Amino acid sequence: MSNNELALRYGCNPYQQPARVYREGGLPFEVLNGAPGYINLLDALNSWQLVKELRAVLKLPAAASFKHVSPAGAAVALPLSDTLKRIYDVDDLELSPLATAYARARGADRLSSFGDFAALSDVVDVPTARLLSREVSDGVIAPGFEPEALEILKKKQKGRYILLQVDPNYEPEALEHREVFGVTFEQQHNTILASTDWLQNIPTNLKELPESAQRDLLISLIALKYTQSNSVCFAVDGQCIGIGAGQQSRVHCTRLAASKAAIWFLRQHPRIAELPWKPGIKRQDRVNAVDIYLRDDITPIELEQWQENFTEAPQRLTQEEKQDWLKNLHDVALGSDAFFPFRDSIDCAALYGVKYVAQPGGSLRDDVVIEACNDYGMAMAFTGVRLFHH
């Protein structure tokens, strides 16, 4: 097989054979280990674009955790609090900036990131490799690997872990093509680059966007550029904390993103740190058990199985306790890949600490959405840029 093409075991499903990827002039990546599949490569190539753009715009190491062609999380390298180290399960590790970025990207939504494909903006160092080596993950794409890091990761999954080294200087052709039902689609590659220029048109009463808010809005917008539409993203402290992807209704995107952001913040409740775990409970089983602990719709069977994780059944948080804790979530940034047609998304976002909003604008009801932001004391920027991705 030449470096122009790579044979795959199958396409999206095992019965879709044959399958391959190819490019005249050579593929822009090299397989250093493992055998990537069709969906692995879709995740890898989309996630690489995301972290490359985060790195270029924010000048910080960046990471993404991808599942089924949308990010479960994305982040840049900012210091982690002791609480976040604990809930991300990295408090026993020495973290480099790149490892910190991946800990944030994977840790925000640990249910969704289970079995992810990771993307890293910088050469993979040993601390990042050690973190990756103990997570349930299909593979990683990066511009390079330190020799010791490469050896650590080659041992993962009994030698089957997928390692892709991408050419960081590769740029695709101006026109891109895809085929659907035998029909070829052609469009210009999405080369628009996020910048603070997008955040200058602020029609709300509150005009101020602190640097931290601008950073988080840009993170949310860059993540949305590579998320299946419709999509909405909540971000704070340099990371996405809730992504609502692939919904048909804008408000459903917002509700989904908000629910994930709420779980992220509720995981930081002191009661979580006090859960009486039985010895030997696996890390992912703890993740699943915490999710059940925080859910409202737990069934009797789930409750019975859930209690088996603990030396004694812990007292669950009441709705009032959850609401009181969520009042401490604030200064959250919200990005939307298209305009809000109604104020319902703003009403929802206000319940989950959102203070800053960025969306294209252009709805017939922009005035209603602006009024909603004013009602809650939010600052909203009209970017003028739609970010649909399909």
Please tell me the distance from the alpha carbon of residue 363 to that of residue 25, in angstroms, as a whole number.
Answer: 44
Is 252 tagged catalytic? no
What is the C-alpha separation between 164 and 258, in angstroms, rounded? 33
The CA–CA distances, whole Å, from 93 to 50, 80, 85, 167, 295 equal: 26, 12, 9, 29, 29
* Furthest CA-CA distance within the chain: 62
Active-site choice (52, 67, 269, 355): 67
Cβ proximity of 379 and 209 under 8 Å: yes
Are β-strands 231-236 and 239-245 bridged in parallel, bridged antiparallel, or unpaired? antiparallel
- Which of 85, 230, 260, 309 is flagged as catalytic? 230
Is the CB of residue 31 less than 8 Å from the CB of residue 163? yes
Q: Which of 68, 252, 322, 389 is catalytic?
A: 68
Strands 231-236 and 332-336: antiparallel
Q: Is 68 an active-site residue?
A: yes
Strands (E), the chain: 5-8, 19-22, 29-33, 62-67, 70-76, 116-120, 137-142, 162-166, 175-180, 183-188, 231-236, 239-245, 332-336, 354-359, 379-382
Neighbours of 189 (CB within 10 A): 12
- Amino acid symbol at 285: D
Dist. CA 245–CA 113, nearest whole Å: 14
b (16+ CB within 10 A) / e for 314-324? bebbeeeebee
230 tagged catalytic = yes
Nearest to residue 232, comparing CAs of 115, 93, 70? 70
Burial class (CB within 10 angstroms; exposed 0-12, middle 13-18, buried 19+) of 385 = middle
Catalytic residue among 158, 177, 282, 390: 390
The verdict on whether 177 is a catalytic residue reads no
Q: Which residues are catalytic?
A: 67-68, 230, 390
